[in-house]
């Protein structure tokens, strides 16, 4: 067999083929990854610009996340303040009425207890604050008489009532703090299934069961109005329940951050760490607390003078609340604006990044096709070049033969 030392033509074809194959490879990679810089070394500057853009988009997105949290915070504040506004406006009416009461009304005595059913999907905790929001409380069944009054208003479902042992397991109390003496448990109850049943349910039968306070599948809850003390007039007991409700809002939190403890809020508004700041809302401030704190004997509206003083305090609280709601509203608007600006910047950046990195499919496909043809040609040339010596040999052979 004759060995061929050099074949210049085959060498050149192989080089061409290698180059064309690499181009085809790169085109394919770009087309499948959709990224113009399949290989960082290909275009260092553009690659670096693109990664810087990506990092900035990332930062902007974190900023938007921040703003969105702050927005939820203010929206939660606003929804509680709206409830406070309702309660305070009812408290103003009650204070007015207390100033007005005729001797006859005062002699007609106390605000008799009444039970009613409120239907809806409440957890026990939601039911408790909803009842307070309405100027009542979850029903406290303290006697057989209460038990039949509650059964009389029930409409065949099961409901939450105001008992709980959440503070000390097994020690049942009513929501007004009184220990439970009258009881009407179903057989085997309370059984604290899985250690998680701390709220009181009344079955359609009237019997009681302990249930997880988070359950929202009951028909609703039984609310109690009026006062156990027959000397307490209606406006006094309703005012007292509303006052307790407004006060309780002071301890509300959002993601473990107090909503109304008066601390100033600050949130980054842009990349240069400019920030939006807002004055805190303090529901414990005297402007509010004077409206919801009873006198030394536990009364709010005893006698015309106290009712009059109370009216002024409630008016003060309402004014403060209007200011506070305006503050929250302005803050939320600022956040919304900042969020829109960040979103706009992000969109622009994404477009730029897109232009920079997205494959121009048409261009790349054309290049791909061209490279493929080149490769095929090169392959053909190489094949041709490789058989050349054989043909020469064959000629030689022919000559030999
Ligand atoms: C059953 C009983 C109750 C318990 C509920 C929980 O009815 O075991 O004691 O509270 O299930 O759904
Ligand atoms: Ca139970």
pLDDT at residue number 398: 38
Residue 49's pLDDT band (cuts 50, 70, 90): confident
211 lines ligand 1 (CB under 6 A): yes
Nearest CA residue ID for atom 5, ligand 1: 211
**Residue 3 scores a pLDDT above 60:** no
> Would the pLDDT of 182 be above 70?
yes
pTM score of the predicted model: 0.63
166 CA distance to ligand 2 middle (Å): 14
Residue 361 has pLDDT above 90, yes or no: no
Q: Please work out whether the CB of residue 199 comes within 6 Å of at least one atom of ligand 1.
A: no
At residue 16, does pLDDT exceed 90? no
pLDDT of residue 265: 83
Query: Which is the closest atom of ligand 1 to the Cα of 197?
Result: 10
Q: Atom of ligand 1 at shortest distance to CA of 201?
A: 10
How far apart CA 306 and CA 296 sit, in angstroms, is 12
Q: Residue 17: what pLDDT?
A: 67
Ligand 1 pocket test, candidate residues 191, 200, 203, most atoms within 8 A of CB = 191
Atom of ligand 1 nearest to the CA of 188: 9
Give the per-residue pLDDT at 25: 73
Q: How many helices (H) and strands (E) does the chain have?
A: 9, 11
Per-residue model confidence (pLDDT) at position 7: 57
CA–centroid distance, 80 to ligand 2, in Å, is 32
* Radius of gyration (C-alpha) of the chain in whole angstroms: 40
pLDDT at 378: 61
218 lines ligand 1 (CB under 6 A): no
Whole-number pLDDT of residue 384 = 59
Q: How far is the CA of 141 from the centre of ligand 2 (A)?
A: 18
CATH topology of domain 63-345: Mannose-Binding Protein A; Chain A (3.10.100)
Calculate helix-pair angle for 303-357, 44-100, nearest 10 degrees.
170
- DSSP β-ladder status, 159-164 and 220-225: parallel
Please give the mean pLDDT across all residues of the chain. 84
Whether residue 400 has pLDDT greater than 50: no
Write the residue with the smallest CA distance to atom 10 of ligand 1.
211
Mean pLDDT value across residues 129-154:
96
- pLDDT in the model for residue 383: 59
The answer to which of 32-41, 220-229, 253-262, 347-356 has the lowest mean pLDDT is: 32-41
Measured distance CA(149)–CA(209) in Å, rounded: 18
CA 127 / ligand 1 centre spacing (Å): 20
Q: What is the pLDDT of residue 76?
A: 93
Interatomic CA distance for residues 18 and 165, integer angstroms: 81
Span from the CA of 177 to the centroid of ligand 1 (angstroms)? 25
Give me the pLDDT at residue 45, please: 72
pLDDT over 90 percentage in the chain: 53
Query: Quick check: CB of 193 below 6 Å from ligand 1?
Result: yes
Kindly tell me if the per-residue pLDDT of 195 is higher than 90. Answer: yes
Q: Write out pLDDT tens, residues 62-119.
A: 888 888 989 999 999 999 999 999 999 999 999 998 987 644 455 456 778 999 999 9
Average of per-residue pLDDT across 161-189:
97
Asked if 214 contacts 123 with a C-beta cutoff of 8 angstroms, the reply is: yes
DSSP, residue by residue, 96-132? HHHHH--HHHHHT-----EEEEEES---HHHHHHHHH
pLDDT digits (tens, 9 = 90+) for 225-278: 988 887 788 889 899 999 999 999 999 999 888 999 998 888 888 777 788 888
* Test site for ligand 1: of 204, 211, 215, 218, most ligand atoms within 8 A of the Cβ: 211
pLDDT of residue 28: 66
Q: Is 85 left (phi over 0), alpha (psi -120 to 50) or beta?
A: alpha
- Helices 8-33 and 361-400, packing angle to 10 deg: 160
Higher pLDDT, 299 or 400: 299
- Which ligand is nearest the CA of 192, by number? 2
Over residues 1-12, mean pLDDT: 51
């Amino acid at each position: 067999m004759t060995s061929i030392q050099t074949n210049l033509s085959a060498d050149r074809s192989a080089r061409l083929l290698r180059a064309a194959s690499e181009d085809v490879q790169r085109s394919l990679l770009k087309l499948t990854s959709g990224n113009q810089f399949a290989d960082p070394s290909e275009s260092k500057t553009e690659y670096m610009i693109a990664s810087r853009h990506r990092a900035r988009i990332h930062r902007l997105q974190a900023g938007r996340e921040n703003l969105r949290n702050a927005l939820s915070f203010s929206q939660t504040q606003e929804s509680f303040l709206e409830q406070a506004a309702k309660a305070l406006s009812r408290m103003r009416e009650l204070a007015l009425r207390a100033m007005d009461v005729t001797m006859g009304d005062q002699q007609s005595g106390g605000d008799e207890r009444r039970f009613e059913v409120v239907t809806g999907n409440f957890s026990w905790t939601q039911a408790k604050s909803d009842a307070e929001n309405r100027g009542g409380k979850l029903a406290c069944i303290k006697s057989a008489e209460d038990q039949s009054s509650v059964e009389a208003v029930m409409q065949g479902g099961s409901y939450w009532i105001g008992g709980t042992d959440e503070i000390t397991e097994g020690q049942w109390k009513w929501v007004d703090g009184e220990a439970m003496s009258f009881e009407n448990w179903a057989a085997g109850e309370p059984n604290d299934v899985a250690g998680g049943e701390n709220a009181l349910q009344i079955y359609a039968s009237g019997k009681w069961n302990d249930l997880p306070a988070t359950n929202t599948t009951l028909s609703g809850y039984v609310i109690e109005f009026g006062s156990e003390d027959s000397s307490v007039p209606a406006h006094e007991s309703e005012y007292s329940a509303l006052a307790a409700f407004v006060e309780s809002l002071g301890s509300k939190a959002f993601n473990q951050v107090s909503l109304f403890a008066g601390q100033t809020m600050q949130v980054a508004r842009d990349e240069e760490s400019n920030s939006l700041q807002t004055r805190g809302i303090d529901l414990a401030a005297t402007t509010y607390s004077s409206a919801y704190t009873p006198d030394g004997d536990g009364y709010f509206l005893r006698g015309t003078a106290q009712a009059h003083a109370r009216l002024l305090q409630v008016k003060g609280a309402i004014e403060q609340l209007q200011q506070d709601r305006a503050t929250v509203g302005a803050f939320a608007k600022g956040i919304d604006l900042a969020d829109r600006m960040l979103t706009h910047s992000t969109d622009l950046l994404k477009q730029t990044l897109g232009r920079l990195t997205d494959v121009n499919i048409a261009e790349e496909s054309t290049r791909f096709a061209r490279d493929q043809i080149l490769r095929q040609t090169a392959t053909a040339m190489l094949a041709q070049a490789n058989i050349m010596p054989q043909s020469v040999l064959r000629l030689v052979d022919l000559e030999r033969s």
